[in-house]
Amino acid sequence: MNAAKTLLGTVIGTLLLFGPSQAMAVTTLKLSHNHNRDHAVHQAMSDMAKEVREKTSGEVVIRIYPDAQLGSQRESMELMQNGALDMVKSNAAELESFGAAYSVFNLPYLFRDKEHLFKVEEGDIGREILNSTKGSGFVGLTYYDAGARSLYAKKPITSPSDLKGMKIRVQPSPSAIAMVKALGGNPTPLAYGELYTALQQGVVDAAENNIPSFSLSRHSEVAKFFSLDEHTMVPDVLVVSTKTLDKLTPEQQQVLYKAAANSSELMKKLWIQSEEKERAVAEKAGVIFSNVDKAPFVQAVQPIYAEIQKNDPELDVMVERIKNVK
């Protein structure tokens, strides 16, 4: 009798120990990005994390690490490939080093306007690009609006000739480097977190980015002239490890993809608000925003497309496909 009670107690204890814990197993996904908590993209990803948690009944939790707490975008990408991170918010310029297809987003003046960009991202071409890095151990979940990138410096830049001899910080992207060379500047690849000091100390003379990043990073304190040349529209990209995806059930994967897509739509609205707000903040701090004649800039970068046509037939086909998106 006592032996039976002992056996029963053991069985009940085992069920209590393993049954509920397995049923309520929580998968925690670590997501790294390099912006502060006030940035619109952090808000969009926070909304995504909330939706994923709710739609999976708490079985999948996304823990977000902002402010480059876990390293720069490049370092975070490497950590993800090594299995230490699950998700990273990067951008198309950085991702070019991992997947050549991303280079189309870094080509100057390829996209006619925002509407054209969104149609490409949300169509077959956009999905092809997101899936192109599967062999590198990750895929893209969605794109986030990051506005148009323009030049800023301690002096006005109104034409390509103004860039002659200037050291211009660029992301570690072959296309970004080629663009600055075509415009007559000296490209200087540099980590984003080092840029404020580099501008302050004259290590670089200029940089290029969107308005919210320019303002929120306080670069407006050390560069008072923002030239709206809008040379590229480089989206942020949310990527996830293929090993992480494989750990999720098909239903959880579907929830993640849907939540990511919803956060992308939210980001478009947040971006408009953020751009207006941060431009006002920068102007209050003494920054002068100038419209420029884009024609000389467009003309200056045409050798890039001639080079692609000559030496990279695959990329040239992609460029033509993008141009034909109406």
Question: Is residue 75 predicted with pLDDT exceeding 80?
Answer: yes
Q: What digits encode the pLDDT tens for the residues 147-162?
A: 999 999 999 999 999 9
Whole-angstrom distance, CA of residue 115 vs CA of residue 112:
8
Question: Is residue 10 predicted with pLDDT exceeding 50?
Answer: no
Helices (H) and strands (E) in the chain, counts: 14, 11
Residue-level pLDDT at 8: 42
Q: Would strands 87-91 and 236-241 be described as parallel, antiparallel, or unpaired?
A: antiparallel
Q: Would strands 206-209 and 236-241 be described as parallel, antiparallel, or unpaired?
A: unpaired
Q: What is the mean pLDDT of residues 212-234?
A: 95
Report the run of H or E that residue 169 belongs to, with start and end. strand 167-170
Q: Tokens standing for 255?
A: 């929830």
Residue-level pLDDT at 262: 98
Mean of pLDDT over the chain:
91
Confidence of residue 24 (pLDDT cuts 50, 70, 90): low
Question: Is residue 3 predicted with pLDDT exceeding 60?
Answer: no
Question: Is residue 19 predicted with pLDDT exceeding 50?
Answer: no
- Residue 88 in 3-state DSSP? strand
Question: Is residue 253 predicted with pLDDT exceeding 50?
Answer: yes
Question: Is residue 6 predicted with pLDDT exceeding 50?
Answer: no
Whole-angstrom distance, CA of residue 231 vs CA of residue 216:
21
This prediction has a pTM of 0.84
Q: What is the mean pLDDT of residues 25-52?
A: 94
- What distance, in Å, lies between the first and last C-alpha atoms of the chain? 80
Whole-angstrom distance, CA of residue 61 vs CA of residue 49:
7
Residue for token pair 């049923």: 23
Using alpha carbons, list the distances in angstroms from residue 11 to 24, 25, 209: 19, 20, 62
Question: Is residue 244 predicted with pLDDT exceeding 60?
Answer: yes
Confidence of residue 54 (pLDDT cuts 50, 70, 90): very high
Residue-level pLDDT at 73: 87
Q: What digits encode the pLDDT tens for the residues 171-198?
A: 888 888 999 999 999 999 998 889 999 9
Residue-level pLDDT at 309: 95
Confidence of residue 97 (pLDDT cuts 50, 70, 90): confident
Q: What is the mean pLDDT of residues 57-81?
A: 94
Report the run of H or E that residue 168 belongs to, with start and end. strand 167-170
Residue-level pLDDT at 2: 47
Residue-level pLDDT at 130: 98
Q: Of the given ranges (95-104, 221-230, 242-251), which has the lowest mean pLDDT?
A: 95-104
Residue-level pLDDT at 16: 45
Residue-level pLDDT at 146: 94
Any idea what DSSP says for residue 2? H
